[in-house]
Amino acid sequence: MITIDEQVITYRKQLKSKLDPMRYEHSLSVSYTCMALAMRYGYDLHRAELAGLLHDCAKRYGDNELIVKCHKHNITLTEGELKAPAVIHAKYGAWMAEHKFGIHDEEILSAIRCHTTGKPWMGMLDKILYIADYIEPRRAKASNLGQMRHLAYQDLDQAMYEILAGTLTYLKRKNTSIDPLTQQAYDFFEELTRQKSFRITSKV
């Protein structure tokens, strides 16, 4: 029977041999940040660690390779994904986590699957991974990173909303195609945070 620590060490070795050094460091950093957020919000530390470690496992492939691999394994890609291929490593990464790394925990697979776009009705691990990917210590400086790091430990939904807003602004400025799921995630968290702030003010 393999222990949790042995499982993590095995995954790290596999990832280190396949990912470029900076991507591997990012994966470790996201993994630790997921665990820190899991401590804060009372989520299972080991599942958070695995989601962080494996989330970018498909990042070694280029866009065209990913499209071919999805086709080969009967993974359906939406029109939105084909127009914004930078998001496909999340869906194929979830497939790899299941079929190459032997993960069968649906919460871990779901978190990997939506870590780039987000989606409406995200579970706690979905949000932890999405946010950890953005705030991890080695992340290149986005202008609002300090605020986001603080907010992540105050309120997951508010942090989701702010990060999605920043991502959409960035994507629009780049004039690149936006996956409808990214827009749907933003609309969902905008409405959720609006309702939450309404509830807080209406209590006063």
Partner interacting with residue 86 (select from ligand DGI, Fe ion, none; CB below 5-8 Å by kind): ligand DGI
Give contact residues for ligand DGI (rule: CB under 6 A).
56, 59, 84, 86-87, 90, 115-117, 133, 167, 171, 176-179, 182
90 vs 103, beta carbon nearer ligand DGI = 90
The identity of residue 88, as a single letter, is: I
Give contact residues for Fe ion (rule: CB under 5 A).
56, 133
92 vs 161, beta carbon nearer Fe ion = 92
The identity of residue 1, as a single letter, is: M
First-to-last alpha carbon distance for the chain, in angstroms, is 55
For residue 195, the minimal CB distance to ligand DGI (Å) is 24
Complete DSSP assignment for 87-136: GHHHHHHHHHHHHTT----HHHHHHHHTTTT--TT--HHHHHHHHHHHH-
For residue 174, the minimal CB distance to ligand DGI (Å) is 8
DSSP H helix total and E strand total for the chain: 11, 0
103 vs 185, beta carbon nearer ligand DGI = 185
Partner interacting with residue 113 (select from Fe ion, ligand DGI, none; CB below 5-8 Å by kind): none
| Residue 43 near residue 37, CB atoms below 8 Å | yes
120 vs 196, beta carbon nearer ligand DGI = 120
DSSP 162: H
d(CA 85, CA 67): 8
Partner interacting with residue 182 (select from Fe ion, ligand DGI, none; CB below 5-8 Å by kind): ligand DGI
